[in-house]
Amino acid sequence: MHVLILGAAGMIGRKLAGAIARSGNLGACSVARLTLADTVKPEVPAGYSGEVSILARDISDPHAAPQLLAGRPDVIIHLAAIVSGEAEQDFDKGYRINLDGTRYLFDAIRHLSQTDGYCPRLVFASSIAVFGAPLPDAIDDTFMAAPLTSYGTQKAMGELLLQDYSRRGFFDGLAIRLPTICIRPGLPNKAASGFFSGILREPLAGKQAVLPVPDTVRHWHASPRAAVDFLIHAATMDLGPVGHRRVLNMPGVSATVAEQIEALRRIAGDRAVALIRPEPDPDIMRIVSTWPRGFAAERATALGFRAESSFDEIIRVHIEDEMGGVL
């Protein structure tokens, strides 16, 4: 099997490529060839014995997609996107990359499908950013996409394209709406959602963290490990039972910030919790107030997608995967 990962230099892309490289497999299938693409050259993952191609391509270049598909990958995992904050700040760039880039990719597959019967599995990383307030406590599987950001709009449009192209038989697509990924490894960033990870990651490393919202704020989370598992399952599962509705809300953990902090206390003690400094930020509070608080992700759960079941587990995953198992 030949797997193409678009956006392979990003956090999730690197972890996914690493998981494939370590096991040599995607689910139960052996991966003989791996093509990793991003705007900058992704690293070759350690320990992979198959053939690897590394490509620096911008999907918003109409010529990129045919080159990315030259090796006729059996599975395409499309993670390439500019993030929410940047898409909001740079309107043209957001539509160019997140919408036009996705459409160029889909159309390049369509042309191959019409000329030589090519029909890959395509997994599109969508986001709970397609939802905007007012929202119920538990968003069900038939709740409408009504985004309040350009990023969410672009993701929702990509989902619609994916469903139409799949219905037409151009590819066999599945869009998965990822929860907010927590705990994101790496340095603190300025994303409005950054604090959800920061208030855990930084204290676990003995560093201070800022909490810009009240601890009553509730949100929807899954670990980077769960996100990689979602993508692998989406890439390999039987799509027969999914039918025409090729967009799934992923499972996750609905937790308040206070519940996150109590999980941190159970695992790392009062000293870690004392490193969190409340510093209310009205801008971040306003943005976060429009976000989902939780989901009833019944379809995805019935289809075998699994996330963590508590924030304790999310923290333990971080300690295992990012801190060598040592606190």
Catalytic residue status for 165: no
Q: Is 203 left (phi over 0), alpha (psi -120 to 50) or beta?
A: alpha
For a copy of itself, which residue of 23, 163, 236, 301 counts as binding (CB under 8 A)?
163
Q: Does 119 bind a copy of itself (CB under 8 A)?
A: no
Which of residues 243 and 324 has its CB atom nearest to a copy of itself in the complex?
243
Strand 218-222 vs strand 253-256: parallel, antiparallel, or unpaired? antiparallel
Which of residues 14 and 96 has its CB atom nearest to a copy of itself in the complex?
96
Q: Give the CB-side neighbour count of residue 299, counting CA atoms within 13 A.
A: 20
Residue 239 CB, shortest distance to a copy of itself, in Å, is: 16
Q: Does 147 bind a copy of itself (CB under 8 A)?
A: yes
Q: Does 142 bind a copy of itself (CB under 8 A)?
A: yes
DSSP string, 226-239: HHHHHHHHHHHS--
Distance CA 185, CA 181 (A): 10
Q: Does 91 bind a copy of itself (CB under 8 A)?
A: yes
Site for a copy of itself in 267-306 (CB under 8 A): none
Per the CB < 8 A criterion, the answer to whether 272 and 208 are in contact is no
CA distances from 162 to 55, 61, 73, 171, 220 (A): 24, 19, 17, 8, 24
Residue 16 CB, shortest distance to a copy of itself, in Å, is: 28
Strand partners, 76: 4, 122
Per the CB < 8 A criterion, the answer to whether 161 and 105 are in contact is no
Q: Does 153 bind a copy of itself (CB under 8 A)?
A: yes
**3-class secondary-structure state, position 276:** strand
Site for a copy of itself in 190-249 (CB under 8 A): 244-245, 247
From the list 48, 95, 118, 151, the catalytic residue is 151
Q: Does 148 bind a copy of itself (CB under 8 A)?
A: yes
What lies within 8 Å, CB to CB, of 124 at 6+ separation is: 78, 102, 158, 159, 162, 173, 174, 175, 176
The alpha-carbon radius of gyration of the chain (Å, integer) is 19
Which of residues 96 and 221 has its CB atom nearest to a copy of itself in the complex?
96
For a copy of itself, which residue of 44, 83, 146, 273 counts as binding (CB under 8 A)?
146
Distance CA 246, CA 286 (A): 31
For a copy of itself, which residue of 58, 164, 172, 322 counts as binding (CB under 8 A)?
164
Which of residues 97 and 211 has its CB atom nearest to a copy of itself in the complex?
97
Which of residues 106 and 196 has its CB atom nearest to a copy of itself in the complex?
106
Which of residues 150 and 180 has its CB atom nearest to a copy of itself in the complex?
150
For a copy of itself, which residue of 9, 69, 97, 156 counts as binding (CB under 8 A)?
156
Q: Does 126 bind a copy of itself (CB under 8 A)?
A: no
DSSP string, 18-56: HHHHHHSEETTEE-SEEEEEESSPPPPPTT--SEEEEEE
Residue 147 CB, shortest distance to a copy of itself, in Å, is: 7
For a copy of itself, which residue of 12, 26, 161, 231 counts as binding (CB under 8 A)?
161
**Residues recognised as catalytic:** 151
Chain positions contacting a copy of itself, by CB under 8 A? 91, 132, 142-148, 150, 153, 156-157, 160-161, 163-164, 167-168, 244-245, 247
